[in-house]
Amino acid sequence: MSDTPLLIAGLGNPGGEYARNRHNAGFMAVDAIHASFGFGSWRAKFEGLLSEGKLARRKTYLLKPMTYMNESGRSVGAAARFLKLPLAAVTVFHDEIDLAAGKLKAKIGGGDAGHNGLRSITQTLGPDYTRVRIGVGHPEKGRVVGHVLQNFSKADEEWLVPMLSAIADCAPSLAEDDPIGFLNKIALILHPPEHKPKPEKDS
């Protein structure tokens, strides 16, 4: 595990009217981690809200940019530069319309797939940070903005609540630089293998 601090940024839009939007899935993930590991109070810094704590004994910063989604790079970039962090120590949670609702994927680097928050961060820092993609389902053609700026539905809550809880439970794997292990542990929580009884032997 690295001695370098970890920065976990969750993307979203500030303000109560956006709080339950699909586009704010990144905020929700970071809030779940914050609540589960006794992180410090949120304070205004780097044009965002910052909290400090530890995951797997590694110093970790949680960040929610308050710049609105399209300018996320201003906040994430300011934090990463001030903390002198390499891109390998930056993880970003964000909503993803190209993933089915409730699916999670993680990758290092790559394209931004039309996500304006990622585009802003990539333009500021470069592409080689870890992205955790939270699937929110694909809208009908031409309705992307309306889809991501709508609140999660009652039906969505059935997968969203347990998924956010699992993200928090498994977050220490991110501090251990193991995004694949993070995903695998979440999968085991959300989809535990069935335990079939062993057949009895004839006596």
Q: Which CA distances in Å does 74 have to 9, 66, 84?
A: 12, 10, 15
**Residues 121/76, Cβ–Cβ less than 8 Å:** yes
**Residues 108/177, Cβ–Cβ less than 8 Å:** no
Q: Closest Cα partner for 6 from 92, 115, 69?
A: 92
Using the CB atoms, write b or e for 58-90: b if 16+ within 10 Å.
bebbbbbbbbbbebbbbbbbbbbeebebebebb
Q: Which CA distances in Å does 76 have to 20, 68, 194, 199?
A: 22, 12, 41, 55
Q: Which residue has the tokens 């009652």?
A: 154
**The one catalytic residue among 23, 34, 94, 115:** 23
For residue 135 the two structure tokens come to 């699937």
Q: What residue type is 118 in one-letter code?
A: L
Is residue 23 annotated as a catalytic residue, yes or no? Answer: yes
16 Cβ neighbours under 8 A, 6+ residues apart: none
Catalytic amino acids? Answer: 23
